[in-house]
Amino acid sequence: MQAGPSILTVTYPVRPDQQGAFHAWLAKLNQTASAAPGFLGMGFNTRQERATEIECTITYKFNTEGERDAWISSAARVKAQAAGSGLLTSAPHETLGVVEGGARSLMVARAHVSPDRESDWCAAQARFQTAVLNFPGFDGVDVFKPRIGSDVWTTVLSFRTEEDMRRWEESPERWALLDEIAIARQDDVIATPGAYGQWFSADASVFANAPTWKQAMLALLVLFPLVTVYDMTLGNAAGAGLKVGGHLVFGGLGLPFPFVVFLGNVVGTILLTWLLMPTVIRAFDWWLNPFATAEQTLRGTVLLVIGYAVEVAAAIFIYQTWGF
């Protein structure tokens, strides 16, 4: 099973005297990526170790390997790549991979764009992204197209620290660029560090900026039954064994209590990361969405509270009935 969205990382060795031309060319190349099926976003980093060249690394993120590879071999990209060869000191280096790990500090913006203005908005968005690429602390941008029947475009900007994000949010560069996207009605802008990064990065368009209190509530829904079941089964098997109603059901390994706790953490981490949390997150995507309506938020919260009550009642019943 693929760990996450597929990425292409390209390092361009840029001639120092061609930086301006390179960024203009890069904006055109990025437009071919943003128009490609399955495109999720991109990240940018630059460094200069030698006076003769500047290394610019671009990471393109796609929903699947097939969609990523289709863009890599597309005529639009091949043509755009060839046009920029004179700006480089040598051929670019490319690496394929998948996204792993969680979010840092994120800014999410939602905009309503009428269908007849989408091309204008995308062009303005490309200019906006070109500007933020060079902003200190910027780590990546994801642009999510509207779902069927919707006109809402979602943009997620990622920064290395919350301070970097706040500086961009208050910068004159950002406010000046927002005027260029005035063709769209900017409804919401949310900025937050992701508290449960890896668990909630399965679908960045929904979970990258899920409110922290919602993340905590969902984690609790999974953690309580996981710990309870472990204590009844593997915990007893590794420790002193299991007794039901005072009668020994099976003897344990007699391992020291700290080791039993450590084993529980190992098992819990594996199950949470690769099985339980991704499953529950998909089930509650409508509630975790940072743009969920008040009705959705209330309905999901009530469901979780009911879930807590059922879990606790079931645990009490089991303990009282069988006398663990």
pLDDT, one tens digit per residue, over 182-202 is 544 444 444 444 444 444 443
Is 254 in contact with 240 (CB distance < 8 Å)?
A: yes
67 CB-near residues (< 8 Å, 6+ apart): 6, 36, 37, 38, 39
Six-digit token pair at 302? 């009530």
Q: What is the mean pLDDT of the chain?
A: 76
CA distances from 158 to 10, 43, 46, 186 (A): 19, 9, 16, 18
pLDDT given for residue 200 in this prediction: 44
pLDDT given for residue 72 in this prediction: 92
Lowest mean pLDDT among 1-5, 77-81, 154-158: 1-5
- pLDDT per position as a tens digit, 74-104: 998 999 888 888 899 888 888 776 654 444 5
Residue type, 133: L
Higher-scoring residue by pLDDT: 305, 101: 305
Is 71 in contact with 77 (CB distance < 8 Å)?
A: yes
Give the pLDDT band (50/70/90) at residue 267. confident
Is 131 in contact with 192 (CB distance < 8 Å)?
A: no
Among the listed residues 186, 211, 188, 187, the one whose alpha carbon sits nearest the alpha carbon of residue 200: 211
Higher-scoring residue by pLDDT: 257, 317: 317
pLDDT given for residue 127 in this prediction: 78
Six-digit token pair at 99? 């996204």
Cβ neighbours of 83 (radius 10 Å): 12
Lowest mean pLDDT among 8-17, 128-137, 144-153, 199-208: 199-208
Domains and CATH numbers, the chain: 1-100 (3.30.70.100), 102-209 (3.30.70.100), 212-322 (no CATH)
- pLDDT per position as a tens digit, 101-111: 444 566 767 67
Give the pLDDT band (50/70/90) at residue 179. low
- pLDDT per position as a tens digit, 120-141: 887 887 777 777 877 888 877 7
Is 89 in contact with 50 (CB distance < 8 Å)?
A: no
pLDDT given for residue 108 in this prediction: 66
- pLDDT per position as a tens digit, 287-303: 876 556 778 889 999 99
pLDDT given for residue 199 in this prediction: 45
- pLDDT per position as a tens digit, 217-229: 988 999 999 988 8
Give the pLDDT band (50/70/90) at residue 308. very high
- pLDDT per position as a tens digit, 207-254: 444 677 888 898 899 999 998 888 878 877 777 776 666 666 767 777
Query: Does residue 178 have a pLDDT over 80?
Result: no
